[in-house]
Structure 1
């Protein structure tokens, strides 16, 4: 038993309610039996039967309440929502969930889930139509039309009388059907949970009351209808049976079927059911019992059993709530225990709040996933290949007529820890920017460089304004927006505007070129790629913007964009009227640009490798050679980039391994340490280590705690704080979940120095 449970007002409330329901009636009945049974043998037997019947009532009431609780859990189980139950992919989980719920109660023969207006009904064995169900379960008195109407109209939990059911045309059973509307206690339920219960499950409980005595037993519902009964060869008229229902709870004497009988009647306060047993009075004098000793023993058993059952049921009911609260707290605010953030012990309110938080968010909308997706878009393009569901999940729209990319950077990026929050806030504010007056919006993308960001801008042309003028207005609006968030004026490189969002990767390379080739390194510089090309004296030469894009695409390892620069250039020369010699000279501009870029990248062997193939008889051969050279350079760039990333991640992992005991360690602190964006570190770390950053840190700290538990006598709290984990109770719970032992138990089992037992206060927490 977790003693923390007793700190919860909700758990104590459950205990007191169960104690009241289970113990108080039983204690009163037992006292009544004791005071009256000692007078004669008949009173002893009658009171004994009354006590046993009351116990049976509570057991059956508990079973019915258990079924209602199962229906409540089904209502809020995400695996059993109408969408997931009907979904071919998640249907298996729903069937498994129903099978798990069925297994929680021993009296459930079969369990079905039905949603109003549906043509299907679901069970632990799968989904079937209502017609198939009717063929598999043929009730004698419950016609199919009535069955469907009851499933769709039941508002309160109701039990149908025992009915003979033909199973698959050859197996006949006596079964009761218990219908529980979902959501329970709702005036407008949306479905029904139906339990099929073998009649013997209930009659077996009552028949055991009579023991060696012969008699009859009945269970009536609150309308006087017989739910189940056992006549044991003796039959009563309908009028006599109806009179049994009208009896007040207690012991009665009555002549039935011409014979005097002793009757014991108990009525449930939970569901209004009435339990009745009848015994011929002549049987009372056939046995002699030690009445007083029996009653005292029975009283003690009832008290102890009632207290144990009350505690057990309260724990069973509260444990899932406690686990949900702990899960909600661990997800919403890591580092806090389950009880820390529960106001006034209101666990149900905490769970409701957590569910609202999770339902308003989709995992794919997490910043790292969204940023990674946009980064791939800048690298490869193909915006139109995204599905509408994916666009909706990331809250992206590329339905405007024009698109371009801006690269934004700062000469000096203040990495003081106090300014990290400001930078994070800037990234969040730039995630999506609207410019309604310019019919534009922009999406922010974190680049691997810590001092650079990119903006993907989409807009519609204003008929009264030239395209370039509207682009300038958008750039100025974006810069003004950033100046409101930071005192440092950014430098901006602007790529060419395209009508197809699939060409955003080209615009990004152009924006990188413009940012790299800006005329000034001062604050506030805005460089447009379109302004870097077409000097007046280059009428017959390759435009500068083509060579700039070619160089930048090679630096970024983007072969697709490089090929889009080379092939159109060669084809334009083919269609020109220039001389062959001049064409050859012009082509050397492309070759020199590629070789110069390769040299800047430290790739010095490509010319030797490609030189034997550089001789050409036609421009087609030259184009193939250039494309081959571009492919070699881009392949080498990607290889070098991966190598640098692996080397950098080796440094990052080494840094984490040496600083994991610092409680301030986070993706943000590492990003500022290595001048790389958090999203890039998160993605690269997962690729290298095979697990996310947070689980890795937890495992390192766990291993260190285990080592210190084995080798030191230091207090547990000091060890936990020393490894960087500030919430001791939460750590103990996670430690036990991982290892199966509390830290104290682990130390005792693995101690190298004969360490003492753990601190009891920490272990209890």
Structure 2
């Protein structure tokens, strides 16, 4: 084995480099390790502080919402009306009721109820005049006159900064005063509910979450006033304090008192309060001071050892590359049997080949994002919703003068035979049409995979040919799309073709029309091509409104696309006004439109809209009737959108249950679940990440990792058996990923848990470490 090392040019280059310039890389590596350790520690601490501060903000928001809720309940409590509170007979009942509300929140030190224009204030201890109240609670920075004015004029919930209060001329206490007008959110409140909160209790909410945090902590109101602060013995100037308030949310570096501090800031959306912590940056470096001694010790040893250390470093550098080269050779043998894996001097070439393969797999994620954008384009028709740089990355161009949409369907069985990619399988037809050019027709095609299996939408852009009419050019493009040179066997394709528009922003219109034409295939049969512009040619003369308009209206309602339904209904009424029909005949034509809308709603399971439809005789003009139809269409489309979201959430819940039950199956994949629930892989991948915040692979890995941890803690089974039971067949790869996630190998994890629980560790548990 040693002889093979010295035959490697790469290993010899490493050893020679360390011998010649030993000090240069040593110094650089020393500095890099130290700075990297300090930087990583700082990043981890700052992220932890950000999460803790955000949790503290959530806790305080919940308490403030609790106080506002109490105020709302008090404002509607008959026992606490002005009449009852002032009445000698009912006043005791009112005082008891106020005490009951105070007891519902542990943060309230005392609660006072004040009615505008009154010279008395009420608390759980009874009634007192404002003058007596000011004597009992003597605020340093809140005069009795200002107190009375605030109680009478307060219209929005307001928290006053912490203030020292002299109570009964003997006890000084720092209190926060939170005033909530009652009734809350009323433009003309009739009273004010005053909460007195002990500042230590308020700070305790935050400190209990921040733990042993050593630094400055501030809470600002929406105007920059400091409500409370924990300065840990360090005081800031007013200018520095305002700089803290002015910082946007997140993690920042700022100089305070002439020293660099790490500042973490979050802002509440509930009341606009800003929560800020600041810690001296020097504390991060003091936390890694022990690393300095280790680095200096290694530096001295390297200087003394010289050539021996150079050889050891060369070997150490070469070991991972040698492993990667062996892995690359294995990959090469698997892809090209009999290739021999290459010589010992070709390590980097083999590694480069594996990296290129990994890069190709990463590139396959791009179609998900591209397909999502094109789906949104078909729904909303806004071609400018994607920035130009992303459009270039997705190879999407809208540089033609004409645009239309085709809906295409093929036999599902054949499409499933073509699924050979583990990440995002599509049929060969999808691959061919994803980005297809037809230079002879000045046309380009973008394919969009629809949620329904075995169905595509094709966005076609073309420039008008000088030798063909527009209809002839469209028919030629459709014929060219039908010709798939690599199809084995040939497919039976059914197409629906929408209207041609001169702007890509109208692609949603063309898509609905293509769906309408596609739905008419029931009359033409599979393998046919239906043109939306030709639907009227075959219409029954007993119908007065064009069949194309009614089909387009049906499709727009079924897909919940109100943007397309509006002009379609408008087109129907324009036709009515220009038809010259008599009033009875025009009324019958209106029944056609209404029947189409009600039939679409019925097919979608929407029945409640029928009750809200007045008779057609109730309308005095076509404009009123059109507005009524638009209102009906709006309700149907809104319900379709709501139903679609509900169905998708329900489907995702069923899928997540299926994953939780089958994550131990090694064949579990994105494609197997997509096939199980009859949805396209790209649609499933997008929906899963939108709902759960992480992709399918990450979720399955977490489930398997948690189960492995549980079995490592509760069983003495061999590691290899545990890993295979959770559906992972590549044991070395699992161990590497487990260590990357937890910082420990599975054997070390089990050993750590066994030591803490006093269990005996089997020798075989260390085999994989």
Q: Shorter-chain TM-score: which interval?
A: 0.5 to 0.7
Q: How does 1:540-551 map to 2 (within 5 A)?
A: 541-551=544-554
Deviation at 1:691, TM superposition (A): 0.5
Partner of 1:114: none
Partner of 1:561: 564
Partner of 1:231: none
The CA distance in 2 between the partners of 1:641 and 1:551, in whole Å, is 17
1:268-300 Cα offsets, whole Å, 9 max, x none, are xxxxxxxxxxxxxxxxxxxxxxxxxxxxxxxx9
The CA distance in 1 between the partners of 2:451 and 2:351, in whole Å, is 38
Partner of 1:661: 664
> 2:756 matched to 1:756?
no
Q: How does 1:529-548 map to 2 (within 5 A)?
A: 529-534=532-537, 538=541, 541-548=544-551
Partner of 1:158: none
Deviation at 1:430, TM superposition (A): 2.1
Q: How does 1:587-626 map to 2 (within 5 A)?
A: 587-611=590-614, 615-626=618-629
> 2:31 matched to 1:62?
no
The CA distance in 1 between the partners of 2:492 and 2:516, in whole Å, is 20
| Structure 1 contact 715–759 (Cα < 8 Å) conserved | yes
Query: For residues 328 and 678 of structure 1, do their structure 2 counterparts lie closer, same or farther at Cα, with a shift above 3 Å needed?
Result: farther
Query: For residues 571 and 671 of structure 1, do their structure 2 counterparts lie closer, same or farther at Cα, with a shift above 3 Å needed?
Result: same
Deviation at 1:350, TM superposition (A): 5.1
The CA distance in 2 between the partners of 1:472 and 1:741, in whole Å, is 64
Deviation at 1:646, TM superposition (A): 1.1
| Structure 1 contact 11–315 (Cα < 8 Å) conserved | no
| Structure 2 contact 15–311 (Cα < 8 Å) conserved | no
1:59-78 Cα offsets, whole Å, 9 max, x none, are xx53434578999x9xxxxx
The CA distance in 2 between the partners of 1:364 and 1:704, in whole Å, is 30
Deviation at 1:577, TM superposition (A): 3.8
1:111-136 Cα offsets, whole Å, 9 max, x none, are xxxxxxxxxxxxxxxxxxxxxxxxxx
Partner of 1:206: none
1:74-133 Cα offsets, whole Å, 9 max, x none, are xxxxxxxxxxxxxxxxxxxxxx99x979x9xxxxxxxxxxxxxxxxxxxxxxxxxxxxxx
Partner of 1:679: 682
CA RMSD of superposed structures (Å):
4.5
1:145-170 Cα offsets, whole Å, 9 max, x none, are xxxxxxxxxxxxxxxxxxxxxxxxxx
Deviation at 1:677, TM superposition (A): 0.6
The CA distance in 2 between the partners of 1:302 and 1:638, in whole Å, is 69
Q: Out of 618, 630, 638, which is 2:633 matched to?
A: 630
Q: Secondary structure at the match of 2:446?
A: strand
The CA distance in 1 between the partners of 2:566 and 2:322, in whole Å, is 60
Q: Secondary structure at the match of 1:443?
A: strand
Partner of 1:515: 518
Partner of 1:369: 369
Query: For residues 324 and 370 of structure 1, do their structure 2 counterparts lie closer, same or farther at Cα, with a shift above 3 Å needed?
Result: farther
Larger Rg: 1
> 2:720 matched to 1:717?
yes
Partner of 2:585: 582
Q: How does 1:5-24 map to 2 (within 5 A)?
A: 13=12, 16-17=15-16, 21=19
Partner of 1:691: 694
Deviation at 1:598, TM superposition (A): 0.5
Partner of 2:397: 397
1:192-214 Cα offsets, whole Å, 9 max, x none, are xxxxxxxxxxxxxxxxxxxxxxx
Partner of 2:107: none
TM-score (norm 1): 0.57
The CA distance in 1 between the partners of 2:443 and 2:531, in whole Å, is 18
Q: How does 1:286-325 map to 2 (within 5 A)?
A: 305-306=305-306, 309-310=309-310, 313-314=313-314
Deviation at 1:303, TM superposition (A): 9.7
The CA distance in 1 between the partners of 2:486 and 2:25, in whole Å, is 63
> 2:494 matched to 1:491?
yes
Q: Secondary structure at the match of 1:533?
A: helix
| Structure 1 contact 743–758 (Cα < 8 Å) conserved | no
The CA distance in 1 between the partners of 2:471 and 2:302, in whole Å, is 89
> 2:510 matched to 1:504?
no
| Structure 2 contact 429–487 (Cα < 8 Å) conserved | no
The CA distance in 2 between the partners of 1:304 and 1:494, in whole Å, is 80
1:702-733 Cα offsets, whole Å, 9 max, x none, are 11211222233322122222222222112111
Q: Secondary structure at the match of 1:611?
A: coil
Partner of 2:481: 478
Partner of 1:706: 709
Q: How does 1:308-387 map to 2 (within 5 A)?
A: 309-310=309-310, 313-314=313-314, 344=344, 346=346, 348-349=348-349, 352=352, 366-387=366-387
Q: Secondary structure at the match of 2:399?
A: coil
Deviation at 1:607, TM superposition (A): 1.6
The CA distance in 2 between the partners of 1:596 and 1:363, in whole Å, is 45
The CA distance in 2 between the partners of 1:539 and 1:483, in whole Å, is 46
The count of residues paired between Structure 1 and Structure 2 equals 496
Q: Secondary structure at the match of 1:741?
A: coil
The CA distance in 2 between the partners of 1:332 and 1:639, in whole Å, is 51
Q: How does 1:42-441 map to 2 (within 5 A)?
A: 61-65=21-25, 305-306=305-306, 309-310=309-310, 313-314=313-314, 344=344, 346=346, 348-349=348-349, 352=352, 366-414=366-414, 423-441=426-444
Deviation at 1:558, TM superposition (A): 0.5
The CA distance in 2 between the partners of 1:454 and 1:70, in whole Å, is 58
Deviation at 1:605, TM superposition (A): 0.9
The CA distance in 1 between the partners of 2:760 and 2:688, in whole Å, is 40
Q: Secondary structure at the match of 1:396?
A: coil
Q: Secondary structure at the match of 2:521?
A: coil
Deviation at 1:427, TM superposition (A): 2.3
| Structure 2 contact 516–532 (Cα < 8 Å) conserved | yes
The CA distance in 1 between the partners of 2:546 and 2:448, in whole Å, is 30
| Structure 2 contact 403–462 (Cα < 8 Å) conserved | yes
Partner of 1:552: 555
Q: Secondary structure at the match of 2:502?
A: coil
Consecutive unaligned residues of structure 1, counting only runs of 5 or more, are: 22-57, 74-95, 104-299, 334-339
Partner of 2:447: 444
Query: For residues 371 and 302 of structure 1, do their structure 2 counterparts lie closer, same or farther at Cα, with a shift above 3 Å needed?
Result: closer
Deviation at 1:320, TM superposition (A): 9.4
Query: For residues 65 and 715 of structure 1, do their structure 2 counterparts lie closer, same or farther at Cα, with a shift above 3 Å needed?
Result: closer
Deviation at 1:456, TM superposition (A): 1.2
